[in-house]
Structure 1
Amino acid sequence: MIKELLTPPASHVYYSIFLWIENDCEAEIGKLGTYPFQRGVYVYIGSAKRNLMKRIERHVCLEKKKRWHMDYIRPYGTILKIITYDDSLTECELAGKFIAKGEIPVHKMGSSDCKCPSHFIYLGDPEIPLSEAYIDSFFQ
């Protein structure tokens, strides 16, 4: 669904990837174990202090060595939208905005290096394509 990736502004260091999983599935998430994932939209919050575009391109690519938790679930879904952010909120604060209105499918997924419960959040089954109003609702 991603038609093109635009180079984010140099001031952007965080990103959210909205992933659509069309069918219920089970996936092994590295050392975290194997978990069920239900149909719906998930958001993954990440950061790259340097080379943000390369990190995003890596997540878009399906054929790669698995390094990040996102690498394990990525083959099961379609990327709907990618948004980048400046540092006005931290990565953990961004994740918190989505956690407040979503569900955590796997504890510590994407957040093994911080105290957050997860940086991968289940958002349910919203209307697709995701509207700006829908995305903005997490920040109100």
Structure 2
Amino acid sequence: MGRRPNSERNEKICTSRSMNFLEETLTIKNKEEIRYWSRNAMNGTDIDLPSEKGIYTLILFIKEAIEISVGSLGVISFTPGYYIYIGSAKNFGGLKSRVTRHFNKSKRRKFWHIDYLTASQHVEIIGVIYSTITNSTEIDYESILANNVLNNECFTIACPRFGASDKRRDVSHLYKCICHINRCINNVVSLFYSIGLNPRTIFRF
């Protein structure tokens, strides 16, 4: 019997990883807040997110080793595995508008570093952890969260300055998970709580 094509083997591996991930999410600390959206909805428009301002973390799965040209950062190499990206939504449309944009693989214009990464067919958004913030707050929760992730034992910098070109104090907003994915997610949830936010989690099934 002939050897299966690489694409077929890779598809089976990715499917297996996704199924394992779903089982792992059941032990998240705030599991009463877990919600799911359809795996068939690739554009993210069916995700029940608020239109308020907020802070969010994307949970990304990179299926295979890739190299991507990311604007002024140049060509960046990414190894397979789980990553998190910390962002904020403070403009019109809030969290709903900003997070939905990340699901669009055919962006006409790429404004942010994360646009280059999420546009890749080898990158899948498998979860979102988010919290709304009040309109009057002047606290930079995005930077605080990113710097707390930097000092967490379960993450390593994926690319210096990624997503942080407008924030001189921040080393990066993109990190790779180096612990078990379930532990990484729990740590992010705990970091949200530690800075006074009330996180909600949504995962793709």
Provide the TM-score with structure 1 as the length reference. Answer: 0.84
Identity over aligned pairs, percent: 28
Residue 26 of structure 2: aligned partner: none
**Are 2:157 and 1:104 equivalent residues in the alignment?**
yes
1-structure distance, mates of 2:166, 2:85: 15
Residue 83 of structure 1: aligned partner: 129
- Residue type at the aligned position of 2:56: Y
Larger Rg: 2
**Are 2:67 and 1:26 equivalent residues in the alignment?**
yes
**Are 2:104 and 1:54 equivalent residues in the alignment?**
no
**Are 2:138 and 1:94 equivalent residues in the alignment?**
no
**Are 2:85 and 1:44 equivalent residues in the alignment?**
yes
> Partner of 2:176: helix, strand, or coil?
strand
2-structure distance, mates of 1:55, 1:9: 9
CA separation of 1:31 and 1:60: change in aligned 2, threshold 3 A: same
2-structure distance, mates of 1:54, 1:9: 7
Contact preservation (8 Å) 1:40, 1:125: no
> Partner of 2:77: helix, strand, or coil?
strand
Residue 98 of structure 1, CA deviation: 2.2
Structure number with greater CO (CA < 8 Å, separation at least 6) is 1
2-structure distance, mates of 1:33, 1:8: 34
Residue 171 of structure 2: aligned partner: 117
The structure whose residues are more often helix, as a share, is: 2
CA separation of 1:33 and 1:111: change in aligned 2, threshold 3 A: same
Q: Give CA-to-partner distance per residue, 1:57-94, whole Å, 9 cap, x none.
A: 11111110211101111113100101212348710111
Residue 137 of structure 1: aligned partner: 187
Structural RMSD (CA): 2.2
> Partner of 1:103: helix, strand, or coil?
strand
Gaps of 5+ in 1: none
Residue 7 of structure 1, CA deviation: 2.0
Runs of 4+ residues deviating >4 angstroms: none
Residue 33 of structure 1, CA deviation: 0.7
Contact preservation (8 Å) 1:41, 1:125: no
Gaps of 5+ in 2: 1-17, 19-36, 39-45, 134-138, 192-205
2-structure distance, mates of 1:77, 1:126: 19
